[in-house]
Amino acid sequence: MSTEKEEYKNDKVHVTVHRKPKCLIEYETEVFRPICVEGEKKAAKVVGKEVVVPGFRKGKAPAEIVKKRYPQDLDKRWQEEIANNAFRECAQLANVPLIRRDATITFKMDSHTRDGAKLTLSFETMPEVPAIDPAKCVLTDVKSPEVSKEKVDETIRQTQMFFAKWEKVEGRAVKEGDFLLLDVDIIDEDPPQKLFSNTRFEVSDKSMAQWMKDLVIGKKVGDTPEGVSTPDKNLSEEEKKEYTPKKVRVTIQAVEKSTLPPLDEEFATKVGAKTVDELKTNVESLLTKKAADHVRVQQREQVTEFLLSHPFEIPESVIQKETQFRLEQMLKQEPFQEVWKKSGQKEKEELIESTKIEAEKAIRIFYICRKIAADQNLNITAKDTPYTAPDPLEALLYPSADHHDPHQPDVKQAEAYSQTLLEKTEDWVISHARTAPADKPKPKKKAAAPSEAPAKKKAAPKKAAAPKKTASKEEKPKAKAPAKKKAAPKKKAAPKKKA
């Protein structure tokens, strides 16, 4: 059903513009004699150059003979010429932009003679993104993580572990304070899903979930205790509600103990500081930065929900392409491949639909952020995209932090640009939003920006005695399907006839 109707006319066409849902535009067009006559002449020339008529050189047969011998070819080309010329005239009159320069334009010819024609031209246009009033965004106050002396000391201890000497412990059961190399599998899924493989865990309250401690303490190398992962008591009620218990199997590969290097100037130098005091200052600064980052991430998630509350139409083809790309990326991941193979038709349709929902959210955020950036003159420069951290301390402690290398290929630069655009526009909203007390439910997880893939991270510098990854207390696997940046189209498409 049409939502808007406009009419335009000149000496070649009379067009009625119908704006349909999902950014679909239909030009209901009456074409006058000049276009029809000119189109027939051009069609005859084009077809005449393509066919061979006995008694004439290729391309030299008279138009009347070509018309008699190849009426279908000539008529098909004639319709295309009418549609091409009609669209150019309509586009100049109505001035409705294509979704992109190479967008598909289709036509349905109702009638055509030398005296005139009637047809409908269809194409997708750009979304009409609503204006955003940041003053209407109300943010729940986010509590910043505490940066205490104890946390600084613990962070330094974790840093020392990258340079620790590790020894295997034989002949006794696991006890508090040990380090374990564990495999952890989720066994209530078919096939079992590998959660951790040969990963180092410290048997302590600050580093291991209670349910896992209960499983491993008193066990020995080679044991495979099974149990259910449950939320720790110190989690918030909201976190407990979001937690999904899983039946797991833990395989104890090894028990280890560590000898940490002394906390002296030699060690401080290894992680980029001149003295121990400077190291402590650096760690405190880093933790303070991470605490601020935590607050900002939570605020951005709230802004995402606010932006998604502004409805507008999106072209169906854009959603389909983003959905298809996300599915292709997920199918490259082995765990998803196994799920897909074992899924029935209904389950596959549900997976596709959930992917489509996330793709649409991401596209909406992209369009809104692009409009905000344009309206507020928020320019993205090379300085805005974070470069790989030169700080060895941060590289050790946070190897998965998002950094961008400007020397990476253009696709990666485009991905970094897309992410930076998202963050910069959401930060602008935050700066103009209001803040309410922290008594509202936690916002849902934000959608990834479309055509955005996480930039490839540089690995943390390897050290001779560096330990294997030590899993955090409630660490959960996360998967994110990257999306590629579409290349800019170069050629304007001609109308295509509907099948």
pLDDT value of residue 321: 93
Query: What pLDDT is recorded for position 4?
Result: 54
Q: Are residues 355 and 421 in the same domain?
A: yes
Same domain, 72 and 185: no
Least confident of 164-178, 431-445, 446-460: 446-460
Residue 441 has pLDDT above 70, yes or no: no
Instruction: Indicate which CATH number applies to the domain containing 253.
Output: 3.10.50.40
What per-residue confidence (pLDDT) applies to 68? 83
Give pLDDT tens digits for 479-490. Answer: 333 343 344 334
CATH of residue 110:
3.30.70.1050
Same domain, 309 and 360: yes
* Residue that terminates a domain, selected from 259, 290, 313: 259
Q: What is the pLDDT of residue 323?
A: 95
Task: Give CA torsion, residues 207, 184, 160, 474, to 10 deg.
Answer: -30
Regarding whether 252 and 189 lie in a shared domain, the answer is yes
The total number of structural domains that make up the chain: 3
On whether both 117 and 240 belong to a single domain, the answer is no
- Total residues found in the chain within this entry: 499
What's the rounded mean pLDDT across residues 448-476?
40
- Separation between Cα atoms, residue 95 and residue 72, nearest integer Å: 33
Note whether 309 and 242 are same-domain residues: no
User: Per-residue b/e over 448-465, b at no fewer than 16 CB within 10 Å?
Assistant: bbbbbbbbeeeebeeeee
Per-residue pLDDT of 41-85, as tens digits, reads 999 888 888 777 777 777 777 777 878 888 899 999 999 999 999
Predicted pLDDT of residue 469: 43
CB atoms within 10 A of CB 107: 23
Give pTM, 2 decimals: 0.72
Q: Is the pLDDT of residue 451 over 60?
A: no
Radius of gyration of the chain (CA): 32
**Percent of the chain predicted with pLDDT > 90:** 60
Assigned domain for 486 exists:
no
Task: Using alpha carbons, list the distances in angstroms from residue 300 to 365, 373, 430, 444.
Answer: 12, 16, 8, 11
286: containing domain = 134-145+264-436
Pairing verdict, β 105-113 and 495-497: parallel
Question: Is residue 233 domain-shared with residue 280, that is, in the same domain?
Answer: no
Are residues 71 and 8 part of one domain? yes
Lowest mean pLDDT, pick from 330-344, 361-375, 406-420: 406-420
| Residue 213 within a domain | yes
CATH of the domain at 419: 1.10.3120
Tens of pLDDT, residues 249-272? 999 999 999 999 999 999 999 999
Question: Both 72 and 193 in a single domain?
Answer: no
Q: How many CB atoms lie within 10 A of CB 49?
A: 12
Closest to 426 measured CA to CA, from 307, 338, 321 = 307
Do 219 and 279 sit in the same domain of this protein? Answer: no
Write out pLDDT tens, residues 371-428: 999 999 998 776 666 555 557 777 777 775 555 554 555 556 666 777 888 999 999 9
**pLDDT for 439:** 53
Q: Assess whether 114 and 241 both reside in one domain.
A: no
pLDDT confidence bin for 494, thresholds 50/70/90: low
pLDDT at 449: 47
Strands (E), 284-419: none
- Answer yes or no: do 110 and 221 share one domain: no
